[in-house]
Amino acid sequence: MEGPKILFLDIDDTLLNSKKEILPEVRDAIGRAVAAGHKIVISTGRPVPGALVYIDQLGLTAEGCYAICYNGGLIWDSYAKKPIYSKPLSLEEVGYILEKAREAGLHAQTYDSEYVISAVDNEEIRYYSKKTHVPMKVDPDIPESLTELPVKVLMIDFEGPDRLRKFRDSISAWAEGRVSSFFSSDNYLEFVREGISKGASVRILADLLGIPMENTIAAGDSENDIPMIVEAAVGCAMANATPAVKAAADYITERDCDHAGIVEIIDRFLFN
């Protein structure tokens, strides 16, 4: 791989350790990579406000810095502070998922450019808002009251993935050709427009920046990271990744997110 390379990094349990911190050695390695002319792109299921916390910490705000949010539903220009690509859901699709989730007794939330929004004030949205640093809004009139088309709907179940899997199966006939869904953790089931994924955005951004696909690297740990791990020339699974992610990867780190596994990837694939 000659020339500048581009590394796509998931946030939770990849860039961040299990305490939701960026380790100093990870920060330093990212700084070295950027100084050497490589691109570091945060690639996350989080909305823009939830990604900006870490973009700002890492100083990834200069001209030519970008982030992938909503699992590929939006690409953010961190210098111009605006989206350069967005594929939202329709209000009809958002409304259907929210209503079916309510009927199933499951929490579902959506987003605008500033807030995570739920029809009810409950433990799930409060937990999510605190964890992701995204302000919350309770609005019983969604989706009709929304003034922006949402890019994503997220369902949360603290009991684990079983009920979420059953829910996904129950709407699979309706979802076909409309929306894509995947787990970003055992407790989070995400819905975006059909064909949207972190993997699709890897190619979109690489093409935009004129970086050949053979110079792309991606790193992650959960199901929603698999498309970008497969799409990138070098797909890396963290040592703490799920078995499915490891099976899809070209490389599995020796160190996990609590021991700066990202430094291992940067040294091996950006500087070797």
Listed residue (31, 223, 23) closest to 237, CA to CA: 223
Q: Residue 43, class by beta-carbon neighbours within 10 Å (0-12 exposed, 13-18 middle, 19+ buried)? A: buried
Q: How far apart are CA 209 and CA 100, in angstroms?
A: 40
Strands 188-193 and 39-43: unpaired
Query: How far is it, in rounded angstroms, from Cα 192 to Cα 201?
Result: 13
Catalytic residues: 10
For CA atoms 56, 60, 66, 69, the dihedral sign is negative
Q: List Cβ neighbours of 32 (8 Å cut-off, separation of 6 or more).
A: 266, 271
Strands 74-77 and 66-69: antiparallel
Residues pairing with 251 in the sheet: 236
Pick from 51, 47, 53, 56: nearest CA to 8: 51
Q: Is 212 helix (H, G, I), strand (E, B) or coil?
A: coil
Q: Buried b vs exposed e over 59-75: b needs ≥16 C-beta within 10 Å? A: ebeeeebbbbbbbbbbb
